[in-house]
Structure 1
Amino acid sequence: MDIADLATRILAGERRALARAITLVESGRDDHRAQAVELLDALATSNRQALRIGLSGTPGVGKSTFIESFGMMLTGQGLRVAVLAVDPSSARSGGSILGDKTRMDRLSRDPNAFIRPSPSQTALGGVARRTRDAVALCEAAGFDVVLIETVGVGQSETMVAEMADLFVLLLAPAGGDELQGVKRGIMEMADLILVNKADGDLKSAATRTCADYAGALRLLRRRPQDPDGFPKAMMVSALAEEGLQTAWAEMQTLTDWRRENGHFATRRADQARHWFEEEVRLGLLARLEKDPAMRSQMAELGNAVAHGQTSVSGAVLEMLRALS
């Protein structure tokens, strides 16, 4: 593969080159990984930036419908939109359906949009391990907004906040009592809470849910990267395409404030440091698994734990001593 040519085509905005590059960075082969690093280094000098928006929510809340309506609104304003949708992988077979394009048929046909579903594989936190690399590729290709749709696993799904400039939490009306609104974890990470399906018979329930979460947000300690009034809860209807313009205006207001006050650049620097440390940890684990002696000792200690000959903590301590 000619990496220099692929990088040139990505910088020119070629969709096929972008798709091929994402396939390359997601590959687990060692030779592909070396090529992926070379490609990412070649594109790093472009210094192109997109607004990264992470979107989370429980299954069935309407994430795909919201992304299509929201994305169509953005492309209608002349913006180029990339959607990176992470699909859950089967714990048994390891496969994924990857059917997000079928849910966004209008957006998938828009020439200013690019949709790429990816399997979560063994990664936790709602995103795939190489999602951040895919975001960097979309930025280099000249997209203005990158939407990162997570698997949708619930309150612990916070990893996407480490790769997004804005973290949007999508909720359904009447999704629980007001106690749900004061739970920590994903609530503390959200920059904007959108109560979806605020139309028809569900509008009154959506109004109550939005009020409950707005009250819960006032109980949270104000973060230094937020201006007054943020984070906030709002109502939208992806199906009726209502409230999307207002939500986009609030996202722009928050982003502009963070840029002006230096929080935007600081946050991106912290995220880069986080992913560097994460890749080092994963690299060390991969090296451990490839070492025959270490793999043999892991198997022996695993059998000892399984047969009750030693405790888990004792086996871990012995393994760490062997590594040092």
Structure 2
Amino acid sequence: MDEMTEAKEPLYLRSDPTPGRQYGDAVPPRRDPAVVKRPHLDPELLAQRIRAGERTAIARAITLVESSKPAHHDLAADLLRILRPDTGKAIRVGITGVPGAGKSTFIDSLGRRLIDQGHRIAVLAVDPTSAKTGGSILGDRTRMGELAQSDQAFIRPSPAGSHLGGVARTTRESMLVLEAAGYDVVLVETVGVGQSEVAVAGMVDTFLLITLARAGDQLQGIKRGILEMADVITVNKADGDHESEARVTARELSIAMKLITSDPKATRPPVLTSSSLTGKGLDEVWQAILDHRARLEAAGQLQARRAKQQREWLWALVHGELEDALRVSPAVNAIRAQLEAEVESGELSALEASDAILAAFVRDAEDLLRH
């Protein structure tokens, strides 16, 4: 091979003769981003690959919508705009339950059953965020081991960020990406029972509550509002010695639902029993979900529900953007520590401090607009 055709390493990958520098330490030459565009960050190309069902493209898109970088924010907005016509066709189901109810195992069993029926399943498992890394704990994925092996399933533990109850700020956007990729059933598993369920119920068509036989204090610990939000309820782990107990619990819970339903004309959620271990009752739970969706469609409520969710999403995004802007405002950061200290000491009320913060933020914004 002559000198003109000899394959050579790029200069920036070669070892540097400077003492202490190692192979690959040197920095690559800068390139004009207007001239060289990374293909996987081109929203049009990425959208094509998502529509084709490429798993790496789907994962990359979800990472993009989760990113807090301003450049990624703009790319994500472009991507979602391109994908919009391909979204909204999936059956969206939120799943919550008392601790130990076996939500992840239930999803694994139900998901595999639905795949056998020809569905493509997406799971957004909203996990607790690691305090150190801000990332998700992947425990749910390991508990959905068999489902995770299927090429007709996509499981994504979303980073929960700072939202109370572990709700991921970007769960909605992730759902849209998955719908555009052709997943026709999207299951959103929540953490525990609490405020996160309110947020998840506001982004799905049907809300499934999973409980246990003789849950006792755990069941009593479920807020009335959570029970009122439930569209379908199942008493899980109804197998072996617990099967008869599960039936008794289902009857008791059905009676309880009559008492807490304020509107006598309202359709009360069916209370069923199921077993992720044997598969018994899973078909009935899924049929109850389909029946609920059919009732919404027949009454014209499905589109109305989704329209309301869109409005709520709009203002949730506005609130989030404002919080982010406040957090990085130089004027706010200049007075933040002092105001916090004065509030803690009682020299200043929280109302006075919040007024001062907002005034500083507005001045910052006005200065930015002038320049």
**Is TM more than 0.5 here?**
yes
Which consecutive aligned stretches of 4+ in structure 1 deviate over 4 angstroms post-superposition? Answer: 320-324
Picking from 230, 243, 259, the partner of 2:281 is 243
Residue 184 in 1 paired to residue 214 in 2? no
The equivalences for 1:264-275 within 5 A come to 264-275=302-313
Instruction: Please give the per-residue CA displacement for 1:92-151, whole angstroms capped at 9, x wherever unaligned.
Output: 664432232211121111121111112212112442000000000111011110011112
The separation in 2 between residues aligned to 1:209 and 1:104, in whole angstroms, is 26
Instruction: Please give the per-residue CA displacement for 1:148-204, whole angstroms capped at 9, x wherever unaligned.
Output: 111224476321001111010111222115982884121111111111111112223
Aligned CA distance change for structure 1 residues 85 and 47 (closer, same or farther; 3 Å): closer
Q: Partner residue of 2:314? A: 276
Query: 2:308 corresponds to which letter in structure 1?
Result: D
Picking from 99, 107, 114, the partner of 1:59 is 99
The equivalences for 1:67-86 within 5 A come to 67-86=107-126
Instruction: Please give the per-residue CA displacement for 1:209-229, whole angstroms capped at 9, x wherever unaligned.
Output: 2122111111233679x974x
User: What secondary structure sits across from 1:279 in the alignment?
Assistant: helix
User: What secondary structure sits across from 1:111 in the alignment?
Assistant: coil
Picking from 178, 196, 208, the partner of 1:138 is 178
The separation in 1 between residues aligned to 2:201 and 2:90, in whole angstroms, is 15
Q: Percent identity?
A: 48
Query: 2:301 corresponds to which letter in structure 1?
Result: H
Q: Is the 8 A contact 1:126 1:157 kept in 2?
A: no
In structure 1, runs of 5+ residues without a counterpart are none
The separation in 1 between residues aligned to 2:199 and 2:89, in whole angstroms, is 20
Query: 2:145 corresponds to which letter in structure 1?
Result: D
Residue 4 in 1 paired to residue 44 in 2? yes
The separation in 2 between residues aligned to 1:96 and 1:126, in whole angstroms, is 10
Q: Is the 8 A contact 2:98 2:219 kept in 1?
A: no
Q: Partner residue of 1:231? A: 269
Deviation at 1:248? 1.0
Q: Partner residue of 2:191? A: 151
TM-score (norm 2): 0.81
The separation in 1 between residues aligned to 2:124 and 2:195, in whole angstroms, is 21
Aligned CA distance change for structure 1 residues 256 and 135 (closer, same or farther; 3 Å): same
Instruction: Please give the per-residue CA displacement for 1:52-77, whole angstroms capped at 9, x wherever unaligned.
Output: 00001133210111001000110000
**How many residues of Structure 1 are paired with residues of Structure 2 in the alignment?**
322
Picking from 198, 201, 221, the partner of 2:241 is 201
Aligned CA distance change for structure 1 residues 30 and 320 (closer, same or farther; 3 Å): closer
- Structure of greater Rg: 2
Query: After the TM superposition, which of the residue ranges 178-187 and 85-94 deviates more from structure 2?
Result: 178-187
Structure with greater contact order relative to length (CA < 8 Å, sep ≥ 6): 1
The separation in 1 between residues aligned to 2:42 and 2:361, in whole angstroms, is 39
RMSD after superposition: 2.2
Aligned CA distance change for structure 1 residues 47 and 25 (closer, same or farther; 3 Å): closer
The separation in 2 between residues aligned to 1:72 and 1:120, in whole angstroms, is 26
TM-score (norm 1): 0.92
Residue 211 in 1 paired to residue 251 in 2? yes
User: What secondary structure sits across from 2:197 in the alignment?
Assistant: coil
Q: Is the 8 A contact 2:93 2:188 kept in 1?
A: yes
The separation in 2 between residues aligned to 1:156 and 1:130, in whole angstroms, is 13
The separation in 1 between residues aligned to 2:205 and 2:331, in whole angstroms, is 43
Deviation at 1:29? 0.9
Picking from 207, 214, 237, the partner of 1:174 is 214
The separation in 2 between residues aligned to 1:125 and 1:154, in whole angstroms, is 6
